[in-house]
A and B are shown apart, each in its own frame.
Chain A
Amino acid sequence: AQTVTQSQPEMSVQEAETVTLSCTYDTSESDYYLFWYKQPPSRQMILVIRQEAYKQQNATENRFSVNFQKAAKSFSLKISDSQLGDAAMYFCARTSGNTPLVFGKGTRLSVIA
């Protein structure tokens, strides 16, 4: 089974600080897509950032950036200048494009004022 592993069930960060969430995955494919989704307590899942495996450049979306290490099959999410609204469950996911999303178990991020 092609799995996605998030080794940190819970993380906390002080407001305005930086936090990194870890994700590793298993795949035999050379072409695939990786995602970080955010699920706030209201439960609506939203896409935070995405990375195409064929792109060497790490994706960035405002305060959110990834560290994509293809050889190590690692895809971590860095949140800079953390805000109270960043508190949520964060899920790492992957797909080959024609296959369903496979999610990690999630990391619950708390932001401390």
Chain B
Amino acid sequence: RKEVEQDPGPFNVPEGATVAFNCTYSNSASQSFFWYRQDCRKEPKLLMSVYSSGNEDGRFTAQLNRASQYISLLIRDSKLSDSATYLCVVNLPLGDDYKLSFGAGTTVTVRA
């Protein structure tokens, strides 16, 4: 089983729409959670961390459900510039260290 699984999409939405998607993770010992954004042929960039109580950053809202081991991201009032692949990332303990485990990404396309 993959450590992090995401719906690959694509989610094709009009400008101004709301789009939401989830990811699930398999390791209950996962320590911290993030959403990264990756544009085509570019490196991932941190979008936001995900906290247990849920958190917002402008039009982006992230939720974490530790009991069910899933994380969600909601984008409100979507813009053309939100078109990207969104990577669910989990920080896993690895002995005395940690490592990031990435989902394969959810592709979002916002159309005019």
The yes or no verdict on A and B being binding partners is no
Binding site for A on B (CB under 8 A): none
Binding site for B on A (CB under 8 A): none
